[in-house]
Amino acid sequence: MYNKTLTAAFAVAILGSGAAFAADKPGADWITLEQAVEKIKAAGYTEVHGIEADNDGWEGEGLKQDGKKYEFKLDGRTGEVLKDKED
């Protein structure tokens, strides 16, 4: 009984983590990573760090012209800036 409970809990953990990994891939209709970097630089970023696919868009952080660190999120399809917040 104890082993079945652990096995079931382990299976749920694996399945749950697999779903999380699937959300971290760019969608087929998304702009490319290079286009996302271009979009965020056009929004005033001078450096971009840690950009990655997340759910429905690209997100990351970087430095703006004022030298401060910001977090951003772009719509995956259009490249529209959805979040632009000082970190």
Give the confidence band of 85 by pLDDT, cuts at 50, 70, 90.
very high
* Separation CA 54–CA 62 (nearest Å): 16
Domain span at residue 63 reads 2-86
Residue with the bigger pLDDT between 48 and 9: it is 48
Determine the length of the chain: 87
Domain of 7, CATH number, reads: 3.10.450.40
Q: Domains in the chain: how many in total?
A: 1
Other C-beta atoms lying within 10 Å of the C-beta of residue 58:
26
pLDDT at position 24 is 79
* DSSP conformation class of 30: S
pLDDT at position 42 is 96
Q: Rounded to two decimals, what is the model's pTM?
A: 0.70
